[in-house]
């Protein structure tokens, strides 16, 4: 028995070491790699002057908006084909003054160009040294030199500047076809050193006509910097990623050690127990196994700790279990429970969105009646609507069968209804649900008399993490994932979803094919 116990303990230790090696050699490095669905949109604002003819004088200085869009168009294991396009337009007449695009092959682990030592993006754990770069915003190979350490919104960043370089930029000016145009670039990058994430960027350029390798006339002179929104979002994301990495590098390994220690202790304890109590020990071992699986879920999903938190809150609230609480204590526990539920819901949403993105999202269809489905969903909101004095009107219900995943479609209704309840006026709030049945599809429309949504914002509503109001003092809570989930669910059923808004009402409409 002692020999078997020793083998078992040795096996536990080997497994623990293997898991730790995998965690530190695969899982954590993956957090620093470019994802296979990598995409980034960077918005710049700046000023420049340009000539309208060869040898002409600079026109009046103009403001411009410059967009850099990068996205993976194809990937093969760790090799990403990234398409990058940069478009610069005047802010007044929207006239294109610069347009360049290219495709790059990048190793997503090293973040280097295939077949080259040039970096496409900064690696993790950035050093205070120089890096050779080729990035679409900078256009040409350049060396980024460390300059100083600074802070942006309490986030430590490294400032890098590129060595001045001169390159042929004729292709970017089709209006001067046949002329040779060179460009001198200057650039500054602010990089979060742990993750290597870009936080801010400023670039400058001086384009000029060249004859026989000599500068003869100016072409364009200007510069631009990343928008405040981009910097704000980049800082926010970098801080969030640093927190996640802290969990991955410190808390999760500690959990592994605790699990290993617990397993060794339990195995030793079982070995010292007599035959009469072995059945009880086996039961405890089964409980520990379940606890072990539960802890593994914590390390991989980062959500399960919320379940015991909520459970203990319920026990504390119930005076017959652990004794009565004071009013302040009970209010505090209720708030903890509420916030735990909110966080758990947020994690569930993030995981669901991630499944949609990685094509791991499955629907389980079944036949339901439209009128019964809508009535059941609305019934769950009857008390809340009554308490808030919101008028709910349902029209067009028919006793018609439809084949859907009822649970997922209920999420669509719930997300839209929750938004409607949040945004309708406190007095005279009104929500309308309209169904229309045709030969090939069923259309659901949910309207509310809340504030108008600007037309330019409507198409962004279904993007991940998008919110009309991103201020920290916004009156309505939300993760910006609800409508993204609605879009994924509806499209997984072969339908479409969109929003319309005017000063009198806002309507969300989605369609579901009947077959």
- Name the residue range of residue 404's domain: 366-513
Give the pair of three-digit tokens for residue 102: 């290219």
Considering the domain architecture, whether residues 428 and 329 belong to the same structural domain is answered as no
We report the CATH number of the domain holding residue 121 as 2.40.128
Are 85 and 178 in the same domain?
yes
**Is residue 355 located within the same domain as residue 373?**
no
Are 62 and 211 found together in one domain? Answer: yes
What is the DSSP code (8-state) at residue 380? T
Q: Clarify whether residues 98 and 197 are in a common domain.
A: yes
Picking from 226, 255, 277, the residue at the C-terminal end of a domain is: 226
**Residue 259 to residue 254: CA distance in whole angstroms:** 9
Does 379 share its domain with 490?
A: yes
Last residue of a domain, one of 226, 246, 264: 226
Could you tell me if 504 and 427 lie in one domain? yes
- Same domain (yes/no): 450, 468: yes
CATH of the domain at 485: 3.30.565.10
Backbone angle region of 290, left / alpha / beta, with phi > 0 → left and psi within -120 to 50 → alpha: alpha
174 and 48 together in one domain: yes
Burial of 364-397, coded b for 16+ CB within 10 Å and e otherwise, reads eeeebebeebbeebbeebeeebeeeebebeeebb
Phi-psi region of 77 (alpha: psi -120 to 50; beta: other; left: phi over 0): left
Q: What is the spatial distance between Cα 323 and Cα 134, in angstroms, rounded to a whole number? A: 65
Q: Please report, in tens digits, the pLDDT of each residue of the chain (515 residues total).
A: 556 677 777 887 888 888 888 888 888 888 888 888 888 888 888 888 888 888 888 887 778 787 888 899 999 888 999 998 888 787 777 777 777 788 899 999 999 999 889 999 999 999 999 999 887 776 678 889 999 999 999 999 999 998 777 788 888 788 888 899 998 888 899 999 999 999 998 988 888 999 888 888 888 888 888 888 989 999 999 999 899 888 888 888 888 888 888 887 777 777 666 545 666 666 666 654 554 344 335 434 555 666 677 666 767 777 666 667 777 776 776 777 666 666 666 666 666 666 666 665 677 888 999 999 999 999 988 888 888 899 999 998 889 989 998 888 988 998 899 889 888 988 889 999 999 999 889 999 999 998 898 888 888 888 877 765 544 444 445 567 788 888 888 998 899 999 999 989 999 999 999 87
| Statement to judge: residues 183 and 57 lie in one domain | yes
226-to-65, 97, 101, 153 alpha-carbon distances in Å: 10, 18, 19, 15
Same domain for 261 and 330? no
- Domain total of the chain: 4
Q: Given 226, 261, 288, which residue is the final one in a domain?
A: 226
Say if residue 343 is in the same domain as residue 280: no
């Amino acid at each position: 028995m002692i020999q078997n116990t020793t083998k078992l303990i040795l096996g536990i230790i080997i497994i623990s070491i293997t898991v730790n090696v995998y965690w530190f050699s695969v899982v954590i490095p993956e957090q620093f790699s470019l994802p296979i669905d990598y995409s980034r949109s960077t918005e710049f604002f700046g000023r420049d002057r340009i000539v309208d003819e060869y040898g002409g004088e600079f026109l009046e200085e103009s403001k411009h908006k410059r967009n850099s869009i990068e996205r993976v168009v194809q990937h093969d294991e760790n090799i990403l084909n990234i398409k990058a396009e940069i478009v610069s337009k005047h802010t007044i007449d929207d006239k294109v003054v610069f347009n360049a695009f290219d495709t790059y092959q990048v190793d997503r682990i090293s973040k280097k160009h295939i077949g080259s030592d040039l970096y496409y993006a900064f690696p993790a754990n950035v050093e205070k040294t120089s890096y050779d770069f080729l990035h679409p915003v900078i256009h040409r190979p350049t060396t980024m030199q460390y300059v100083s350490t600074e802070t942006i919104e309490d986030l430590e960043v490294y400032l890098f500047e590129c060595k001045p370089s001169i390159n042929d930029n004729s292709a970017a000016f089709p209006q001067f076809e046949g002329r040779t145009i060179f460009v001198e670039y200057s650039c500054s990058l602010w990089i979060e050193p742990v993750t290597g994430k870009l936080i801010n960027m400023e670039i400058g350029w001086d384009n000029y006509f060249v004859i026989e390798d000599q500068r003869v006339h100016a072409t364009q002179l200007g510069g631009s910097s990343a928008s405040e929104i981009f910097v704000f979002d980049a800082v926010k994301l970098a801080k969030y990623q640093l927190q996640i990495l802290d969990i991955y590098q410190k808390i999760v390994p500690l959990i592994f050690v605790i699990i290993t220690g617990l397993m060794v202790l339990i195995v030793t304890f079982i070995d010292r127990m007599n035959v009469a109590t072995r059945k009880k020990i086996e039961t405890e071992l089964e409980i520990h196994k379940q606890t072990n699986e539960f802890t593994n879920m914590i390390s991989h999903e980062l959500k399960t700790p919320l379940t015991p938190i909520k459970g203990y809150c319920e026990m504390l609230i119930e005076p017959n279990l652990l004794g009565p609480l004071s009013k302040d204590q009970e209010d505090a526990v209720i708030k903890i429970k509420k916030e735990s539920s909110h966080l758990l819901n947020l994690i569930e949403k993030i995981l669901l969105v991630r499944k949609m993105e990685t094509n791991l999202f499955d629907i389980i269809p079944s036949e339901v009646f439209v009128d019964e489905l809508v009535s059941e969903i609305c019934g769950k909101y009857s008390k809340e609507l009554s308490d808030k004095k919101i008028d709910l009107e349902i029209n067009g219900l028919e006793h018609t069968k439809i084949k859907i995943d009822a649970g997922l479609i209920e999420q669509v209704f719930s997300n839209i209804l929750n938004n409607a309840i949040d945004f309708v006026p406190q007095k005279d709030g009104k929500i309308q649900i309209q169904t229309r049945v045709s030969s090939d599809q069923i259309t659901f429309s949910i309207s509310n008399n809340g504030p108008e949504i600007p037309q330019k914002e409507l198409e962004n509503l279904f993007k991940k993490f998008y919110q009309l109001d991103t201020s920290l003092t916004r009156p309505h809570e939300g993760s910006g994932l609800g409508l993204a989930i609605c879009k994924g669910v509806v499209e997984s059923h072969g339908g479409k979803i969109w929003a319309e808004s005017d000063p009198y009402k806002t309507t969300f409409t989605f369609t579901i094919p009947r077959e």
